[in-house]
Structure formats: C-alpha cells, structure tokens
Structure 1
Amino acid sequence: MKIEVGILAIILTALSHGTCDAAKFPSYWQKTMTNDPATNYFVAQSMKPLGSSDAQTLRVVQLASVAATQCRGATLNSKAMRAYKKSTGYAGIKGKAYDDAAFLADDSFKYFNFGALAHLCAGTDYLFGPEGHLAPGLVRAGKGVPIASYDPQNPYVRLKQLKRPQR
C-alpha cells in the first residue's frame, strides 16, 4: 500500500511539474512563443543575415549551442554540427577575420535575456529542426521552454563564449 501511495505521489508531482512550465515566464509571452517568425520576433531576428558569412556561421553555432544546452529536452546533433562547421569553413575563420565575425555575431546576443531564451526555445524546431530554415538538423527540439525558471530580478542569461577554431 505504501509503495502505491509513493508511486501515486511521484506521478502527481511529475504531472504538476509539467503544468508549471507555463508559469515559468510571463503569460503575455505565450502568444509570441511560437515556431513562426511572423509572431516570434527572436526567431525573425535570428533569420536575418549578418554582414559576413563568417559572422553568420558563428551566430548559428552559438544559437544551436544555447538551444541545445538551455532548452528543456533539446539536444545537439553533434554529427550535423561537425558537418555544418565543415561546410561553412568554421575552422578557417582565424585571426582578424574571427575577431570581426565574432564582433558581429556577439552583437546578436547583446541583450540576450530570459525572454529571448524562451522565444529561442519555442522556435528551435523552426530554426534547427529536420526542416530547419537556418541550419536543418542541428538541434532536436524539446519541450519549447527553457530549463531554468524565470527570475524577474535577474532576467539576463549568461552565455558561454564560442571556442576559437584551433590554429
């Protein structure tokens, strides 16, 4: 009897945890947290080309890495990432070219906060799914919500810097 009660408690906790996802961010975001660039401003901005193809490559790698590590259930397809980097010449971006490209790409993340992360998570399939419009197959979309909870006192998300290609 105690085991059944324990299992029931675990199931109820899991179910209530799943319904709390929507409460992790303001309700007015729910209308714009879609897989459609017409309503999801962050996805639309991510689709705009940058001034250089190297900067575009760095931004795509950063977006895919953030989506894979900070969106619930999303995973990076390492094989597709290696193929993407090879096809775009990622390893060849060095020296001043890397610095210039990184400057442009980093500008995309200047005000990256929890709202941007939530919208990125919601649009991951559009950007990186099997039919992805930015880089197909890089990230398997998960639940469409961030792993972390929204903290209005500290809304900014700290991002890891991209690793420079080996010299």
Structure 2
Amino acid sequence: MPIQTGDAIPSTKIMQATPEGPKEVDTATLLGSGTVVLFGVPGAFTPTCSARHLPGFVQQAAALKAKGVDTVACVSVNDAFVMAAWGRDQGVQDELLLLADGSGAFIKALGLEMDLTARGMGVRSQRFALVAKDGKVSYLGVEQPGAFEVSSAEAVLAKL
C-alpha cells in the first residue's frame, strides 16, 4: 500500500549525489525534520523528467523556500553517479538534493514503485511529489501514467 497523508517517511539507506561523490544517507534522518518537498521521477535523463519535472523544481526553489520549505529533494531509481551527471546536465546547484535509490528500496518502502520491465527499464519510481512536515506526509500527489499534473513544482506550491 502506498504511503498516505499522516504516515512517516520510512527509514532506508540511499545515496546522495554530492560534489565529493556518493554519500550514504538515512531517509528518515535526511527528510525527517522541518518542511521537506520530495519528488520522485521514473528516471534521470528521461524526457518529462529532464524537460519539465526537475527543471520546474530548480526554477521554483526560491518560491518553495519562501513558503517555508527547508529541503527540496529529487529521488530516482538510478545510481548516484547518474544522478550527479543529471544534476550537472540540468544545472542543479544547491537548489535541491539529488537522491539515488539504486536498488529501489526507498521507493518500495514508500509503496510508489512501478514495473517497467516490459519497456526495458526495470522497477522504477512512479512520478510523485510529497510534502512532509517533521517526517510526516502532509501532501502526496501521485501521477496517473503519462500525466504531469499533481507532482509539478507549481502543484506543490499551491498545496503549501
């Protein structure tokens, strides 16, 4: 069952892409205090993720922070090296954190995985965005297949 409003962010180990290289982090610790916006994408360098989803959060980072958001993070079932390369390609600076869930353990703990094996992509994240306040989910927007409405930066801003 997918994570719901009121649920706590689960604790798993994932990798954060940093300029110094991959750094292991605990999701409950990293995302468990203050106001956090976390959005998940099916894959780095994929069309909607690269053209709209990530760029929207980079462009709206200041507006999100102005609404009280402490941390903005993107998670994908990719490795930390791919996430770092994607961040460089997209011009991501300090606006947000890039989190690599290479094995999909965090996405599965959230209950937001989808199986794209038939399309050659394996198990990936559904496209989603959530807001958590002190580790508890206060908003969750999960996209229907092919849609991009409830997980955009603008949709999240409207919920803050």
TM-score by length of 1: 0.29
Report which of the two structures shows the higher radius of gyration computed on alpha carbons.
Answer: 1
TM-score by length of 2: 0.30
